[in-house]
Structure 1
């Protein structure tokens, strides 16, 4: 009963939007790169900025959630390195494995799922986790994907051109400067409400984009390695997250959110990094599809436990 209600109440709404995105992409020739840029450069930063300004989480708890996110990314990366060494993977395959296990879809998939599962309070904590993951992806994914190939200097320059880091900085500046943007009646307050309006569009578009990206279709390359990566991403990662959350003394809600976010499939944007630096992009794309489909089962089982 818990399993059925977990799927219906949390994952079914998410799945409906993803399927709509999939169907749209299959029916129409949509300009996916432009929609990605809209999400990456406008709606995503707006969501980050407005949530930091309005977030109702204590500073100490926020630091511990971010610490859990960082520690998990690095910890599962170490596990990936060990697994890669035991499997005697070549450099390109090892880098692809790390991209797939270290960086999870905590944005497109994780944020809406957490909101349905744990409400606004859970969503705010999930956004802290996501912000840390976003910065980690921008600072670590580039050198991992480019190890031994590609123009690293240009990639690093592009990394610092991404807006998410600046959205975090602006949000923190607004929050700690004492400017109460959400409740101001002047031009600043009106401007904030405009940014908040864009932020409200972020989550639906993220889910639609996930469906559109899945509709591109792909083949599973190297089934054995794909299953190993799926086991690390969907199985080992949440167990590690639980241990880290307990070690950091997170409260019950934050622990549940961290474990749920850590259970997400491989981040879709890792395909872009693997393409840019030729780190087995077909393999990475296959892992994204496989882990996303498998997550419908693994997340349903996990949510039936987390929501009791």
Structure 2
């Protein structure tokens, strides 16, 4: 059990320190967060995604296994969210908040930095997390928007938004270059490496700034159920699927850890944009992120013991 405090100290504490610095900076200087978020989305994140996928060695057979796992995990988690919201008698914005909070994970600002710390010596683990990140982006702008009842956007418009995401272009570019066995010139690779190296710190500082703006009001029951679904049930479903599919080693560890990440900050951003219980969505993100410091530590420990 002495390994658990070590994981918390070496993986979670650095993350919490950067979140805290971001929150303090936001309280003091009141930054405009939209430009910083755009900088992360359109610059640092695509560089990190491209570099990790380009340098990783992922077997085609394992890629098929990953795809099967991700499809099953998403289907089961979304069904669980649907059934839970019905059993609680939720409707409208509360229903959207619960379902999105359980199915949409913070695989970018939170998940990727954690994976880079845990799998610093094994890039395959980070590459698996990047694939999860891409799938989560697809899910956010399809299922996530559907839950918010966004009648202002058609399916074609949502697909256009997806195709405009730089992370999608970075993924396609990395896979294309690997397939063609093409080398990236050094004068291009150097700035990509430098941008990728800065992603984790900037992403966590930004997340801390965003959390600092959330006001804690009355504790809604949706917050408790969403935390239970995202941080406990989610990893439980993942563990069962990983064992049933026979996934082993670093890939199993990475998938199990990825399933434990807190609710995506995009749920609060989209809720604010479409005015669907924005305060509730924001509080769900805050509590989920804070509680994940405990649950993610335990899941990392279990992943190292089981796999």
Partner of 1:200: 197
Residues 48 and 131 in structure 1, CA contact (< 8 A), matched pair in contact too? no
2:276 and 2:240 map into 1 onto residues whose CA distance is: 31
How far did residue 35 of structure 1 move?
0.5
Asked if 1:297 is matched to 2:297, the reply is: no
Q: For structure 1, which segment, 163-172 or 120-129, has the greater mean C-alpha deviation from structure 2 after superposition?
A: 120-129
How far did residue 220 of structure 1 move?
4.6
Residues 53 and 172 in structure 1, CA contact (< 8 A), matched pair in contact too? yes
Partner of 1:27: 28
TM-score (norm 2): 0.91
Gapped regions of structure 1 (runs ≥ 5): 182-187
Deviations 1:261-301 (A, max 9, x none): 11011011111111222332111100000011111121222
Partner of 2:209: 212
How far did residue 57 of structure 1 move?
2.1
Asked if 1:135 is matched to 2:132, the reply is: no
Aligned residue for 1:109, secondary structure, equals: helix
Residues 106 and 265 in structure 2, CA contact (< 8 A), matched pair in contact too? yes
Partner of 1:150: 152
Deviations 1:115-165 (A, max 9, x none): 222334222322222222223223332223235x43446555433322222
Aligned residue for 2:107, secondary structure, equals: coil
2:163 to 149, 160, 163: 160
Number of residue pairs aligned between Structure 1 and Structure 2: 301
Deviations 1:188-231 (A, max 9, x none): 33213222221221111111111111111222555212101110
Note the 1:45-124 alignment, pairs <5 A: 45-121=46-122, 122-124=125-127
Describe the shift of the 1:125–1:158 C-alpha distance in structure 2 as closer, same or farther (beyond 3 A). closer
Q: For structure 1, which segment, 115-124 or 97-106, has the greater mean C-alpha deviation from structure 2 after superposition?
A: 115-124
2:178 to 172, 175, 178: 175
Asked if 1:258 is matched to 2:255, the reply is: yes
Q: For structure 1, which segment, 172-181 or 216-225, has the greater mean C-alpha deviation from structure 2 after superposition?
A: 216-225
How far did residue 47 of structure 1 move?
1.3
CA RMSD of aligned residues (A): 1.9
